[in-house]
């Protein structure tokens, strides 16, 4: 296209000022904002219907209206619309940042109160309503064991399932698996908890347990693996699809059987991406409260055996402490929440950084 523009036409003789659309001066927007703020303060305090928050809200509305009117008069309707939407989009951003920033700020400021050795070294055993001590050692043990067992179950199962879908599966059956893995992503955590409650705690484990329902950390791990499985399968599937075909073909050409090609060539190539997916799944599972509440029961004492008796977890600890009437329990809840968020965020950030270094990329 660039080669065709060679003819020089005479410039139109119109005045340069009419070539450019008229624009609002730079100082117009702050000026309108200031005026809106003053008018809003006048209205709100004059009628006495609210405080500073209402002033800001009314001022924002007035600013939008004023900006639209001014731009409409000077620049025309289309530019006015552009300016108004732009202001709306920016304010949506501010509106959403406020609560999210408040969450982070509260978490840190309230969480550091009990961030001491005692918190990480003791359990809630024999801690009454008047005891300021007590900690989350048992909950941390529970979280690590439950998530660990869930990972041990999910990772082989998920990777094998993804290999089937990508490498072997054909036609309707494979499509059905992919579709239901996607659907499984949306299963509420409480439903997976109820499933394990109905299946493991109330039906299977009483058979070996003299008929008593078997609440245990292992049951929680089962529920968590139902939640982790779709995430692992999906991320592995995507990564396997990204492995370049020439790598596979090269292996086949050397006479390597398909299963060995998958295990020795395809999987190692896709490994960083798979690890990322697994870490994101672990981060999600570690934060789940509802399934642990239903099938592990929670407990105040340290229980390192995941196969017998109640176990707690960090998320469940937060929930139980928040429901506790003791005046010391909110501090414990916030510190546990901070610990949990730190754990989850470290996993998530590590996973994202790993994904960024991944050679396959997206």
Partner 1 sequence: MGDTPQRSAHAGTGGITVATGHEWAAGASARVAETPGNPRTPVDNGMGGGGALPRARSFGAERAFRGLTLAAGTAVLVIIAAIAIFLIARAVPALRANTENFWTYEGWSPNEAQPKFGIGTLAFGTVLSSALALLIAVPVALGIALYLSHYAPRRLGTALGFLIDLLAAVPSVVFGLWGRDVFINPVRDFSAWLNEYFGWIPIFGGDGPFGRSIMLGSLVLAIMVLPIITSLSREVFLQTPTANEEAALALGATRWEMIRTAVLPYGRPGVIAAVMLGLGRALGETIALAMTLGITFGVSFNLIQNGGNTIAANIANAFGEANDTGRGALIASGLVLFTITLIVNITARVIIYRRREFTESAA
Q: Which of 240, 315, 223, 319 is nearest to 274 (CA)?
A: 240
Query: b vs e for 339-354, b when ≥16 Cβ sit within 10 Å of the residue's Cβ?
Result: bbbebbeebbeebeee
Minimum distance of partner 1 from residue 177's CB (angstroms) = 5
- Minimum CB separation of residue 360 from partner 1 in Å reads 18
**H-state helical runs in the chain:** 16-19, 28-47, 52-74, 77-111, 117-121, 137-163, 171-185, 189-196, 205-208, 217-242, 245-253, 258-261, 267-286, 290-295, 314-323, 329-357
Which residue number, 35 or 184, has a Cβ lying nearer to partner 1? 184
Q: How far is CA 54 from the centre of its chain?
A: 32
Q: Which is nearer to partner 1, 34 or 176 (CB)?
A: 176
220, HSE (Cβ side, Cα atoms, 13 Å)? 37
| Distance of closest approach, residue 73 Cβ to partner 1, in angstroms | 17
CB closer to partner 1 out of 133 and 348: 348
Nearer to partner 1, 35 or 148 (CB): 148
Closest CB 224 distance from partner 1, rounded Å: 13
| Cβ-based burial of 305 (10 A; exposed 0-12, middle 13-18, buried ≥19) | exposed
Give CA–CA dist 315/327, Å, rounded: 20
Q: Least separation, in Å, of the C-beta of 217 and partner 1?
A: 17
How far CA 165 is from CA of 179, 264, 327, in Å, comes to 11, 18, 53
CB of 51 to partner 1, least distance (A): 9
CB atoms within 10 A of CB 258: 13
If the CB atoms of residues 22 and 34 are measured against partner 1, the closer one turns out to be: 22
- The two three-digit tokens of residue 47, written as one number: 């009628």
d(CA 301, CA 299): 6
What is the nearest approach in angstroms of partner 1 to the Cβ of residue 137?
19
Q: Which is nearer to partner 1, 34 or 88 (CB)?
A: 88
- With respect to partner 1, which residue has the nearer C-beta, 42 or 188? 188
Q: Rounded to the nearest whole angstrom, what is the least distance from the CB of residue 132 to partner 1 in the complex?
A: 18
Contact 217, 284 (CB under 8 A): no
């Amino acid at each position: 296209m660039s080669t065709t523009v060679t003819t020089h036409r005479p410039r139109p003789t119109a005045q340069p000022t009419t070539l450019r659309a008229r624009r609002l001066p730079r100082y117009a927007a702050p000026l309108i904002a200031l005026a809106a703020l003053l008018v809003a303060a006048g209205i709100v305090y004059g009628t006495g219907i609210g405080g500073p928050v209402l002033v800001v809200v009314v001022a924002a509305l007035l600013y939008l209206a004023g900006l639209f009117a001014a731009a409409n008069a000077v620049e025309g309707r289309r530019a006015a619309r552009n300016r108004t939407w732009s202001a709306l989009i920016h304010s949506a951003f501010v509106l959403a940042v406020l609560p999210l920033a408040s969450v982070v700020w509260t978490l840190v400021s309230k969480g550091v109160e009990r961030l001491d050795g005692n918190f990480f070294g003791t359990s809630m055993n024999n801690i009454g309503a008047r005891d300021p001590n007590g900690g989350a050692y048992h909950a941390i043990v529970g979280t690590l064991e439950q998530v660990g067992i869930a990972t041990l179950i999910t990772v082989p199962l998920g990777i094998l399932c993804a290999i089937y879908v990508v490498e072997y599966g054909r036609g309707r059956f494979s499509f059905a698996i992919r579709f239901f893995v996607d659907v499984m992503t949306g299963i509420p955590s409480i439903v997976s908890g109820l499933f394990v409650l109905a299946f493991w705690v109330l039906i299977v484990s009483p058979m070996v347990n003299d008929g008593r329902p078997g609440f245990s950390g292992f049951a929680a791990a089962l529920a968590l693996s139902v939640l982790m499985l779709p995430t692992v399968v999906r991320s592995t599937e995507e990564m396997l699809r990204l492995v370049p075909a020439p790598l596979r073909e090269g292996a086949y050409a050397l006479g390597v059987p398909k299963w060995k090609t998958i295990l020795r060539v395809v999987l190692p190539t896709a490994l960083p991406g798979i690890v990322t997916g697994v870490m994101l799944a672990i981060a999600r599972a570690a934060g789940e409260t509802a399934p642990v509440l239903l099938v592990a029961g929670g407990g105040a004492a340290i229980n390192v055996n995941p196969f017998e008796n109640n176990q707690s977890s960090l998320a469940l600890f937060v929930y139980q402490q928040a429901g506790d009437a003791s005046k010391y329990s909110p501090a414990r809840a916030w510190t546990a929440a901070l610990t949990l968020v730190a754990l989850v965020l470290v996993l998530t950030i590590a996973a994202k950084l790993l994904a960024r270094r991944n050679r396959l990329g997206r």
